[in-house]
């Protein structure tokens, strides 16, 4: 993994699997943070531009002067639905049994994670990434 402080590094699938097995709490924090990074990209397209760092921080901490419990506010369902429609990252429903998944199984869009506030651990990781 990244060896320098603040080095931007995204682990490959094999490294992610190793992290999930060896450090499940760190893996869950990483996964939660990545969900929200992609949600930020969908909700605020400027997140992927030169203004991206400020946009990411504004997404993570929209209420800087508020109480700690209100630092990261969940996105409402209507805004999530608009983001899913605009991004094309909708839910996937299997229409046939493929051996691993049964007919009717659903993979929900990661955008639905926006309806939940980030954990304090993920907020700290997001703050350190900014």
10 Å Cβ neighbour count for 43? 20
Query: 25-73 pLDDT, tens per residue?
Result: 999 898 888 888 877 877 776 665 666 777 778 778 776 655 555 445 5
Q: Alpha-carbon distance 111 to 34, whole Å?
A: 11
**CB 90, CB 84: distance < 8 Å:** yes
What pLDDT sits at residue 22? Answer: 94
Closest CA to 73 of 65, 84, 83, 61: 61
Query: 101-130 pLDDT, tens per residue?
Result: 788 877 777 777 777 778 888 888 888 877
Beta bridge partners of 93: 106
Q: Tell whether pTM > 0.85.
A: no
10 Å Cβ neighbour count for 96? 8
């Amino acid at each position: 993994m990244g060896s320098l402080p603040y080095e931007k590094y995204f682990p490959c699938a094999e490294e992610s699997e190793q992290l999930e097995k060896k450090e499940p709490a760190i893996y869950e924090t990483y996964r939660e943070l990545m969900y929200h990074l992609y949600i930020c990209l969908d909700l605020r397209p400027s997140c992927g531009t030169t203004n991206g760092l400020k946009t990411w921080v504004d997404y993570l901490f929209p209420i800087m002067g508020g109480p700690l419990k209100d630092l990261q506010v969940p996105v409402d369902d209507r805004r999530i639905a608009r983001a899913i429609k605009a991004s094309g990252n909708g839910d996937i429903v299997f229409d046939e049994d493929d051996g691993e998944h049964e007919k009717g199984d659903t993979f929900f869009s990661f955008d639905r994670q926006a309806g939940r506030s980030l954990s304090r651990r993920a907020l700290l990781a997001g703050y350190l990434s900014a």
